Structure 1
Amino acid sequence: MKGKEWYKADDVAEEYDSKRFSRGGRLIDRREKGAVLDALSPVDGKRVLEIACGTGRFSVTLAERGADVVGLDISRAMLTQGRQKAHEAGVADHISFLLGDAARLPFPDNYFDAVFAMRFFHLADTPAKFLAEMARVSKGQVFFDTFNDFSTRVVYNWLLPMGSHLYSREDVERLVEGAGLSLATESHDFVVPYGVYRKIPGAIASDIRSVDTAVGDTSVGERLASVSYWNAEVPELDGEAVERASEAE
């Protein structure tokens, strides 16, 4: 089963968090949430859109810190999990979960302070269209991650052929430029691919992570990183565009 079809299955949604973010996967969860918070903070009072929100891991984390969040996803089952998670965290009044297509976002231009997507672009069949839509509805910031083509992720893709798309830096630069964005900051991580961490106990994963981080802090390790986080900026609006954005609110 290919990526998108697999992702939308009901049984996948029910087990998604427990299979990926338990055991050594907790390290991945912490790192990803940290990357999002580092990029978007401070989030208190911000209007934020999450593309491919899944079970709401990031949406709930941002809502707990005062953001007003819209989470959009193509999977009804994932959205059900997200609503339950938001209710349990007491932030359901700060999150709206919507079923929708990221290539045709149902929002006006410049509507959100920030738009982000995690674990999305490796499954995106039309990445340029998706990023352009994210840029269109953001008036400040677009943040996303990619899986990289010069990394151990290549082996993982070969062993588990789910149709994941791997990106070079040049690919990302073309996407960012094509969407009318400018790249502000970037970071690169996980020489050891996600799949290894998910299969081992937390204590062992912590030791591996220490080595992974030490290697990743070198120029060679950065080049071999399997994941990159890209923080892009939307060009400043002119006076007329600012007025239109204010009217849309």
Structure 2
Amino acid sequence: MKGQEWYQADEIAETYESKRFSDGGRLIDEREKRAVLSAVGPVEGKRMLEIACGTGRFTTMLAERGADIVGLDISPAMLQEGRKKARAAGVADHLEFMRGDAARLPFPDDHFETVIAMRFFHLADTPASFLAEMQRVARDQVVFDTFRRFSTRSIYNWLLPMGSRLYSRMEVEQLLDGAGLRLADEEHDFFLPYGLYRKLPDRLAGRLREVDTAVMESPIGDHVASVSYWDTRLKG
């Protein structure tokens, strides 16, 4: 995985959310959470797994809605932040955080109804094997996001020290077919790359988002989006 050592550093975990999801980054957090909730639907009593859960943004959110969920991550520091978040939300007794490798998930086949992975595949060095492993432990649904190859993200990528793996639609379709998954639904958003929003104060980011949304709601929106959210089901 790209940036694995950087990601696991204590100081990165402690400031991860404040640097990415405050000010203009709040818009990204809200949009990603809407995408997840739209894909998974009602989660009361649903057995779920979040891969690369980080500080538990989605794990805690889904636990608050009644999911029986496990958050798995390779970073002990990120998991510690996740546990703090769960305690603050009053759901620490209703979820489990555990350290693990997404390439070798420590669960039997078909163990979870739904498996999700957000902000993961842009760092994946072997996405096909990761997706196949997610499919193995899922009984019904796999939800994940990708950054689009032919978008403003490709320009922004040049400025990043680690870069990101970008995907065309054809590449995603090939990954799904190879993993035995079929596409059930999809959403595409953000003409402008995520990083731009994180650098702006709330008010300016909100105005920029209005322009961005207008572009996305136009006929060309799906073709110029920089982010895609994929809701997939097991074939058969």
The interval holding the TM-score normalised by the smaller chain is over 0.9
The code of the aligned residue for 2:158 comes to W
In structure 1, distance between residues paired with 2:123 and 2:20: 17
In structure 1, distance between residues paired with 2:219 and 2:54: 33
Q: Paired residue for 1:108?
A: 108
Measure how far apart 1:157 and its partner are: 1.0
Secondary structure (helix, strand or coil) at the match of 1:108 reads coil
In structure 1, distance between residues paired with 2:6 and 2:227: 21
Q: Paired residue for 1:121?
A: 121
* Superimposed CA distance per residue, residues 68-92 of structure 1 (whole angstroms, 9 cap, x where no aligned partner): 1100001110000001100111101
Q: Paired residue for 1:159?
A: 159
Q: Paired residue for 1:197?
A: 197
Q: Paired residue for 1:216?
A: 216
Given the alignment of the two structures, is residue 16 of structure 1 paired with residue 16 of structure 2, yes or no?
A: yes
The correspondence of residues 69-88 of structure 1 with structure 2, limited to 5 A, is 69-88=69-88
Q: Paired residue for 2:50?
A: 50
Q: Paired residue for 1:64?
A: 64
In structure 2, distance between residues paired with 1:96 and 1:138: 17
Secondary structure (helix, strand or coil) at the match of 2:166 reads coil
Does the aligned pair in 2 maintain the 1:3–1:164 contact within 8 Å? no
In structure 2, distance between residues paired with 1:108 and 1:70: 14
In structure 1, distance between residues paired with 2:93 and 2:133: 26
Q: Paired residue for 1:230?
A: 230
Q: Paired residue for 1:206?
A: 206
The code of the aligned residue for 1:44 comes to E
In structure 1, distance between residues paired with 2:183 and 2:210: 29
Which structure 2 residue ranges, 5 or more long, are not aligned? none
In structure 1, distance between residues paired with 2:156 and 2:173: 24
Give the fraction of aligned pairs with identical amino acids, expressed as a percent.
67
Count of equivalent residues: 235
Secondary structure (helix, strand or coil) at the match of 2:231 reads strand
User: After TM superposition, which residue ranges in structure 1, 4 or more long, deviate above 6 angstroms?
Assistant: none
Q: Paired residue for 2:182?
A: 182
In structure 1, distance between residues paired with 2:219 and 2:174: 23
Measure how far apart 1:8 and its partner are: 1.4
The code of the aligned residue for 2:92 comes to A
Which structure 1 residue ranges, 5 or more long, are not aligned? 237-249
Given the alignment of the two structures, is residue 34 of structure 1 paired with residue 34 of structure 2, yes or no?
A: yes
In structure 2, distance between residues paired with 1:55 and 1:136: 25
* Superimposed CA distance per residue, residues 41-73 of structure 1 (whole angstroms, 9 cap, x where no aligned partner): 100100110000000000000000000110000
Does the aligned pair in 2 maintain the 1:53–1:72 contact within 8 Å? yes
The code of the aligned residue for 1:82 comes to G
Secondary structure (helix, strand or coil) at the match of 1:59 reads helix
In structure 2, distance between residues paired with 1:128 and 1:176: 8
In structure 2, distance between residues paired with 1:193 and 1:136: 32
In structure 2, distance between residues paired with 1:164 and 1:79: 23
TM-score normalised by L of structure 2: 0.97
Does the aligned pair in 2 maintain the 1:116–1:143 contact within 8 Å? yes
Q: Paired residue for 1:171?
A: 171
Determine which structure has more spread, i.e. the larger CA radius of gyration.
1
CA RMSD of superposed structures (Å): 1.0
